[in-house]
Structure 1
Amino acid sequence: MMLPSVMDGADFQHGSIFFVGTATVLVRYAGFTILTDPNFLHSGDHVHLGYGMTSRRLTNPALDIEALPPLDLCVLSHLHGDHFDRIAEKKLNTALPIVTTRHAAASLRRKGFTAPQGLKTWETATFRKGAATLRITSMPGKHAPGPLSLLLPPVMGSLLEFQTAGEHTALRLYITGDTLIHEHLREIPRRYPEIDLALLHLGGTRILGLMLTMDADQGVEAIKMIRPRTAIPIHYNDYTVFKSPLRDFQKAVRAAGLEKKVVYLSHGETYGFEVPASRWHQQGRGTTAAAEAVRPERQAPTSYQSATATSATNGDGRRGSGISAGLALLGGAGIGAAIMYWSAPQKMAGGSRSGANGKSIPSHRKGSAVERKPSGRF
């Protein structure tokens, strides 16, 4: 699918991951703005998980859906209420491309969405925007042990490969989806031995005593199996069914000696990274440069002068960097000109937008002042 280009062109050097909450993040790289698993319910709201079961949200999202920047597409791991909620169903643009499972794509079409792309495992959807190409490949996922997986919606992981006009891969991002550790995951590092970033869906979700998402120990096992240069845990502490808190994962990471591989984000925080020119400015170098490391940056909480920062709690008492601060940091990745697909019926151009808790959120503008603190190499 060809997406409308931005006037400033693709930026292959800088990118960012903004953590909204649960499994919802904004990925910005190479001119693309990608939303994952949209969940914008607030603390106290309930989601329906099927078979009469519900779960209560314990946290607020870092921003409300109306405050999203213009979107190019959405990546959806599966159709559960904590991954595609009633707010997303009502307020996302129905023309927004959504890459997901075939099961979810069929359901979304019945709900009026016109551009879902359903994938089987290892199938790929391709998007082009200016000089950049984005390949999204469905990865194996298993939401429950044994035959019980047949009672839950099919789930997929996603591998996002960002390529230059010369078809050189500048960045690989793996999103696990709501999977447990299972044998088919071992095929991922065999096919893709070089993965730069991995977003791990954790939480140790338990329903009727059965674990349905990775807990702390499985999260560490996933890092060892997939071998990403950097891993970021998400999908933790947000709902009552999440029984494995982030602190358990942090303890397991320390015990495994993997501290240098893991970055922790609070709601509203951004992880910025820099990709070496050798991976996207090839000049005939060939594909061996793809194995070179990416330079990540941790963007510290920094608020616009025109907005008041607020905090979000992550369920274990840790405070986020604030809505205004987090969105200010997103500006560092550059959003440029308007894009065709919008997250809400009204266009949100200029001025400020209302975020979670009704606070003012500044507009995204390229060149915004951002405090950047390098955190090492992948």
Structure 2
Amino acid sequence: MTQQSEPTTKDKELDSPAPTSPFPPLAEPRPLDERRVWPRTFHDRLTAPLPGLKAMARFAREGAVRPGREGLADIPLLPFEPGPLPRVDARTVAVSWAGHASWVVRIGGLTVLTDPVWSRRIIGTPARITPVGIDWEVLPRVDAVVISHNHYDHLDAPTLRRLPCDTPVFVPAGLARWFRRRRFTSVTELDWWEAAELDGVRFDFVPAHHWSKRSLTDTCRSLWGGWVLTAADGQRVYFAGDTGYGHWFARIGRRYPGIDLALMPIGAYDPRWWLSDVHCDPEEAVRATLDLGARRMAPMHWGTFILSAEPVLEPLRRVREAWEKEGLERGDLWDLPVGGSRVLGLT
């Protein structure tokens, strides 16, 4: 894989601070459910070229797709501790990890699901190795859903069919059509650095080092990214979605200072020559959290689906070591078990 590209002129303009402020101005919220026209492709947003024929041939030749026997032997040791969801009010921020990139985020009085995948299987991948950590039946009313991109382990049609069709959904540019075909009636699609508001909570869509594809003909036809959720009182949670390491994290941190918690992917990184441009390894996830200026980090995107070749428990061990090496407070690493919850301000 190649090195990440330099920021474009458009990127630099977006990142330029306002003359009277040390931080770039935030965009005015766009209307909910707005119908918009997008470019046919978002290939120009890639920060590294997608794998070519030589890389595909090497990947097929090496066959490094799954962990070896020793790496799989740790599956029974994966932390799985489902518990009751914490009680919250409009002033409380709480997160509960259902597994992979699926979180129940309570913020500003809303219940928000991130990349909800409650299915046992997804296309092209063995069944999940830990059960879903939160039973669907115990969820409070879902006020909103945010989607980072359209890969099957982040956009799961069987799970979404469980939701009422009037559930507000926030999606990347170019993805609203997928939801409207499934009769969702409240779909807001955003470009990078754009935002919308719902009942006092602000939803900002921010860049990521990744890509999109769901079929043979739709590569990069919709955008990809992360989300910054901000309550009216200023409490702020960043959901990274799926991303490699790169320059966007520092820019997001400058534009959205005071992130209280970063939900960061730490798995699906081996082999590095194949995956480094699109998936952080644990050390990069810690570095990205520092770039963001986030006060806390909660690891995700590991211990649920086997997507790559690293041993299943290795991401947890490495992220703990990297956190300690940086001299960070142990209590600010929220390395939750699947099914675990934490509340901001409580130990």
Is TM (by shorter chain) over 0.5? yes
- For the Cα contact (< 8 Å) 1:155–1:179, is it kept in 2? no
Bigger proportion of residues as strand: 1
The separation in 1 between residues aligned to 2:110 and 2:103, in whole angstroms, is 13
Deviates more, 1:102-111 or 1:32-41: 102-111
Residue of 174, 194, 209 corresponding to 2:274: 209
1:141 match:
208
Tell me the amino acid that sits aligned with residue 92 of structure 1.
L
The separation in 1 between residues aligned to 2:262 and 2:229, in whole angstroms, is 10
- For the Cα contact (< 8 Å) 1:33–1:72, is it kept in 2? yes
The separation in 2 between residues aligned to 1:161 and 1:262, in whole angstroms, is 21
- For the Cα contact (< 8 Å) 1:143–1:154, is it kept in 2? no
Cα pair distance change 1:119/1:55, threshold 3 Å = farther
Structure 2 segments unaligned to the other structure (5+ residues): 1-30, 33-87, 213-217
- For the Cα contact (< 8 Å) 2:267–2:315, is it kept in 1? yes
Root mean square deviation of aligned Cα = 2.5
Cα pair distance change 1:256/1:34, threshold 3 Å = same
Residue of 303, 306, 309 corresponding to 1:240: 306
The separation in 1 between residues aligned to 2:133 and 2:229, in whole angstroms, is 24
- 1:197-276 correspondence to structure 2 within 5 Å: 197-205=261-269, 209-211=274-276, 212-242=278-308, 243=310, 245-260=315-330, 261-273=332-344
Deviation at residue 205 of structure 1 after TM alignment? 4.2
Q: Deviations over 1:244-264 (max 9, x none)?
A: 622221122122222433111
Deviation at residue 218 of structure 1 after TM alignment? 1.1
2:231 match:
162
The separation in 1 between residues aligned to 2:148 and 2:137, in whole angstroms, is 22
Q: Deviations over 1:149-193 (max 9, x none)?
A: x94563211111101xxxxx4301111110111223321122122
Kindly indicate whether residue 35 of structure 2 is the aligned counterpart of residue 35 of structure 1. Answer: no
- 1:223-372 correspondence to structure 2 within 5 Å: 223-242=289-308, 243=310, 245-260=315-330, 261-273=332-344, 296-297=345-346
2:258 match:
194
1:350 match:
none
Larger relative contact order (CA 8 Å, sep ≥ 6): 2
- For the Cα contact (< 8 Å) 2:130–2:338, is it kept in 1? no
- For the Cα contact (< 8 Å) 1:41–1:60, is it kept in 2? no
Residue of 93, 101, 114 corresponding to 1:23: 101
Deviation at residue 127 of structure 1 after TM alignment? 0.8
Tell me the amino acid that sits aligned with residue 19 of structure 1.
W
Tell me the amino acid that sits aligned with residue 142 of structure 1.
H
Secondary structure class of the residue paired with 1:107: helix
Tell me the amino acid that sits aligned with residue 61 of structure 1.
V
Tell me the amino acid that sits aligned with residue 245 of structure 1.
P
Tell me the amino acid that sits aligned with residue 290 of structure 2.
K
The separation in 2 between residues aligned to 1:104 and 1:267, in whole angstroms, is 28
Structure 1 segments unaligned to the other structure (5+ residues): 3-9, 164-168, 274-295, 298-373
Deviation at residue 40 of structure 1 after TM alignment? 0.6
The separation in 1 between residues aligned to 2:219 and 2:321, in whole angstroms, is 33
The separation in 2 between residues aligned to 1:179 and 1:106, in whole angstroms, is 23
Q: Deviations over 1:81-107 (max 9, x none)?
A: 212223213212221111110222221
TM-score normalised according to structure 2 size: 0.66
Deviation at residue 219 of structure 1 after TM alignment? 0.6
